[in-house]
Structure 1
């Protein structure tokens, strides 16, 4: 590595922040899509009875939200690690 190893943690923290923000935006879009596509009325009754299937976005939204939560936690950890490392 030709870069200063002391600044590597700053780059990692910045990259983790970028990824977390991107996944957060995707999660927000998936949440809006899921709320619009969620079955209501007789369609919801059909889903409850197993006659029709749930839209994919409604099924995927919690998984995408979990990914946003995990990447946010990793980003936060990387941020505070970089901040700690810069002080020492």
Structure 2
């Protein structure tokens, strides 16, 4: 598969996971137990909302996807420069 295509697809996945993590962080902020319900969660009588439990995991996934996206971007840039260098070297050796 073409390195530019891979970099583009990984970037799209990274952006989508970042958006999902942002939405889940907002949801966790809204649905975090407060007052007596927070005391109930602390005592183990009541459960935390699932969004509050999943928000940190989704943030970690978005971070990992961002790191992977950055790596594929720089790999793609390196391959572009390498191919340009090889083409220019081939042209200069042909003209000699």
TM-score when scaled to structure 1? 0.91
Structure 1 counterpart SS, 2:48 = coil
SS of aligned partner of 1:39:
coil
From 1, 11, 24, the equivalent of 1:17 is 11
User: When the two structures are aligned, how many residues end up with a matched partner?
Assistant: 82
Q: Gapped runs of 5+ residues in structure 2?
A: 83-96
Alignment partner, residue 68 of structure 1? 62
Runs of 4+ residues over 6 Å off in structure 1 = none
Query: Is 1:39–2:33 an aligned residue pair?
Result: yes
Structure 1 runs not aligned, ≥5 long: none
Q: What SS is found at the alignment partner of 1:69?
A: helix
CA-CA distance at 1:30 after TM superposition: 0.3
Q: Give 1:58's aligned residue.
A: 52
TM-score (norm 2): 0.83
Which protein, 1 or 2, shows the higher relative CO under an 8 Å CA cutoff with sep ≥ 6?
1
Could you give the per-residue CA deviations for residues 46-77 of structure 1, whole angstroms, max 9, x where no partner exists? 10000100000000101111110111110000
